[in-house]
């Protein structure tokens, strides 16, 4: 396993712990604003992991499709990215 993969997994495990913490806060009927701050922190952490995975995809999968010269593969990778961006917009 690469160090980048390990770093992403560590971040995701921390996020999972934060989510469990928020569930406990809700269970304990903690102050709503405190819960919301924690949720924002989780969303921010997820966005950072998402960004890194997207960069990895561009550096590896997309770059390989470009280098291959296979127009269909290039188009498929491009369409995947467009679909992802459209889903993100809702």
pLDDT for position 54: 92
pTM above 0.75, yes or no: yes
Residue 32 and residue 35: Cα distance in Å, rounded?
5
The pLDDT assigned to 19 comes to: 98
Q: Who contacts 39 (Cβ-Cβ below 8 Å, separation ≥6)?
A: 22
pLDDT in tens, 46-75: 999 999 999 998 889 888 999 999 999 999
What are the residue ranges spanned by the domains of the chain?
3-89
Percent of the chain with pLDDT over 70: 100
What's the pLDDT at 90? 78
**Considering the domain 3-89, what is its CATH architecture?**
Up-down Bundle (1.20)
């Amino acid at each position: 396993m690469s160090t980048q993969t390990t770093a992403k997994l560590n971040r995701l495990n921390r996020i999972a712990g934060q989510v469990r913490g928020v569930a406990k806060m809700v269970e304990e009927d903690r102050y709503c604003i405190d819960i919301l701050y924690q949720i924002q922190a989780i969303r921010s952490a997820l966005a950072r992991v998402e960004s890194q995975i997207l960069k990895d995809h561009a550096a590896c999968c997309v770059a390989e499709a470009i280098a291959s010269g296979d127009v269909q593969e290039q188009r498929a990778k491009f369409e995947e990215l467009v679909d992802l961006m459209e889903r993100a917009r809702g």
